[in-house]
Amino acid sequence: MSTFLFYELIRLNNYQIKKEDFDNEFMSHPDYPSLSAVKDTLDKFDIENIIAEFNNSHFNKLPNTFISSLKENSELILVKKKESSVLITNNFQHKKEIDISIFLENWSGLVIAVEKQKSTSKINIDIDNIIKKSFIIVITLILYFFYLNFDRYEFLYAFISLIGLCYCIEIYKTQHEINSKFIDKICSSKKENSCQMVMQEDRINIFGLKLSDMALLYFLTTTIFSLFLNKTQFIIILLSSLSIISVIYSIYIQFFKIRKTCKICLILIGIILSNSLICFLHFEFRFSTRVFLLCLIYFFIITPLYIYVNKIININKKLNHDNLINTRFKRNYDIFKRELFSSKQVNFKYKDLFFIGKKESKIHITLILNLECFFCKEAFYILKDIYLSNREYISLQIRFNFFNKPKLPEIGNFIKHLIYAYNKGENEFFSTFDKWYIQKYHFSKEESLINDFMEIEDISKENISEKLNDSPMLLINGYLFSQKYQIEDIYYFIEEIIKEYYNNDK
């Protein structure tokens, strides 16, 4: 499922979220692509939302923009209300304006809406927009160079090559599942699936390169060689001659093999033939051995480089896809709960020292740390954040694997200070951890106010007796947090855990 409609709904309501972040959160949800996944994703980004069904009588009270569907088609659409009509946009960005009465006759009643903000949520530097503007500036400068140095046919050839290069980049983006509004508008409905069929019929595979890759390499080369047209015209004529072979192959696939045309391919063929016609009619074949050798060097550099970059992009694409599937599996609460309760429940004897929160909390989290462990710092701040965000539901105990002869002498001094700070209150307790982990404060022996480590050592012995030797380790109500998960994965489940323990009693 495309996330275009959801992201557009968010954008129109003045929220600024990176599309990549939204896509990853939504597509990695265990219930993707259900409406519960949509709601949880919107909740994750603190976007007030409602997903419900309404009667026609409520239509006027609905927000001006929302996502819905029609009875005749279950696919989602973006709805924008106007005075006497509505503008609907589908996932292919195809827009259609219809009368309100006609819309209501076919409306399913489903509404996915978000609370509109008065202004954008935050200033966000759009890197993609900066890249696009920079690209436009570069193209403008190149065109200006062509205009100053070439006659009208040379300029026209260079201009068409530049158009072909930009067009092939958009095709490349689409083939690697990167949204291209331009290509989507060309194939803007389900009937245009012939585009996909034609591309799938492309059997050419030379070192992983398909016909579309060769087209991109072709226009990249002709654009670069256009900068030196007075020297490279004979090379361009040779390239244009070779390009006719790919045109014939594409026409054969469309008209004789699958008998379906592809708008994307036909436009590309038109660009190639236009350029070829100009070079055949107006360029001169003046062979130069020196230029030919330089062009060979260019091809031996650019082709392997393109193949390598293309391979890396394909590998990353597969890794990202696999990561989404794995994260979707990992975020499944039923699997997490099964793993959690498969461990033996631990009932600690020493529960009072470094206990934070309400004694009557139904959810108690135990975190076992070792102050010589590098990873314990991150685990501590994750659990601190979880506790502070849900303190009305959760209690927390920090336990240490510690004995009175640590490798670093200041660890003992820190423990003494921590006991003293704990007795002064929660804020002082957390502040002491900040001094240790963030400020790298060195606690001296002279500053120490408590010298009794007996309870700390008893806790450590109890940890070891329960085979809780490693650190960091996390337990939820005495059940060991599975090592198949990272500690930060608790963010995925904490809301479900709270719902389970507190809603069951209602």
Read out DSSP for 70-116? Answer: ETTEEEEEEEEE-SSEEEEE-TT--EEEEEHHHHHHHB--EEEEEPP
pLDDT in tens, 271-310: 999 999 999 999 989 999 999 999 999 999 999 999 999 8
Confidence of residue 176 (pLDDT cuts 50, 70, 90): confident
Whole-number pLDDT of residue 504:
61
Give the lowest-confidence range in 160-164, 439-443, 499-503. 439-443
- Whose CA is closest to 481, among 297, 336, 319? 336
Q: Give CA–CA dist 33/25, Å, rounded.
A: 11
Give the lowest-confidence range in 91-95, 428-432, 450-454. 450-454
Q: What is the pTM for the complete model shown?
A: 0.67
Whole-number pLDDT of residue 228:
87
Helix (H) or strand (E) holding 53: strand 49-53
Q: Give CA–CA dist 345/342, Å, rounded.
A: 9
Whole-number pLDDT of residue 142:
80
Strands 363-369 and 394-400: parallel
Instruction: Dump strand ranges (E) for 394-451.
Output: 394-400
pLDDT in tens, 62-84: 999 999 998 877 789 999 998 88
Mean per-residue pLDDT, 466-493: 90
Q: Is the pLDDT of residue 506 over 50?
A: no
Q: Is the pLDDT of residue 188 over 60?
A: no
Q: Give CA–CA dist 365/481, Å, rounded.
A: 10
Mean pLDDT of the chain: 84
- Whose CA is closest to 8, among 109, 112, 106, 144? 112
Whole-number pLDDT of residue 123:
45
Confidence of residue 444 (pLDDT cuts 50, 70, 90): low
Domains of the chain: 3-114 (3.90.70.10), 127-318 (1.20.1440.130), 344-504 (3.40.30.10)
Confidence of residue 119 (pLDDT cuts 50, 70, 90): low
pLDDT in tens, 29-62: 888 888 889 998 998 888 999 999 999 989 999 9
